[in-house]
Amino acid sequence: MSKKYISVEGTLVEVTEAVYKEYYRLARFERYQEERDLEKGTFAYENLLNGETSRGDLVADMLQKSVEEQVELNILSEALREAINILKKRDQEFIYQIYFLGKSIRMLADETGRSSSALSRQHIRIMKKLKDMMSCKYYA
C-alpha cells in the first residue's frame, strides 16, 4: 500500500488512507459549495468583514436581472403584445381596464352594469386564450 500525504501549512504530512480520503472528500465538497454559491449568486457574510464584497455590490446584484432573464422577459413581452393585439376589441378593452388602468372586476361590474361573476368568467376565458396563444408562440 502506498503512503498518503496531505499538505498542512505547506508541509507534507503522512496520513492514513481513511484520513486522506476524508480530507479530499471534504475539499471536493467545499469546492462544490463554492461553485453552487457562484451559480446562485450567494455570498458569505464574512466577505463583508474582509472587504471582498461591498454592500453596494450586493444591492445592485439583487436588483439587476441577468442578461438571459432580460432577453427572455423582452421576448415574452413582445409575444404578449402580439397576443393581445389578436384579441377581439372588447377583450382588449377589458385587459386595458384591468391591467393598465388598475380597475378591479367589481369596479368594472359597477361601471358596466354586468355581474362580477360574468366579468370574472370573461377574465378567465381571456387569460386562457392569452396563455394558449403565448405557449404556441413561445414554444414554436
Q: What is the pLDDT of residues 61-92, one digit of tens each?
A: 556 777 888 898 898 888 889 999 999 999 99
Task: Say yes or no: 127 and 99 in one domain.
Answer: yes
Q: Which three cell numbers stand for residue 76?
A: 415574452
Task: Say yes or no: 54 and 41 in one domain.
Answer: yes
pLDDT at 59 > cutoff 60: no
Question: What CATH number is attached to the domain comprising 82?
Answer: 1.20.140.160
Task: Say yes or no: 128 and 114 in one domain.
Answer: yes
Q: Which three cell numbers stand for residue 58?
A: 450586493
- End-of-domain residue from the set 26, 45, 63: 63
pTM for the predicted model, two decimal places: 0.52
Task: Report the C-alpha gap between 1 and 55 in whole angstroms.
Answer: 51
Domain that holds residue 110: 67-138
Task: Say yes or no: 82 and 132 in one domain.
Answer: yes
pLDDT at 51 > cutoff 80: no
Structurally, the chain folds into a number of domains equal to 2
Q: Are 54 and 45 in contact (CB under 8 A)?
A: no
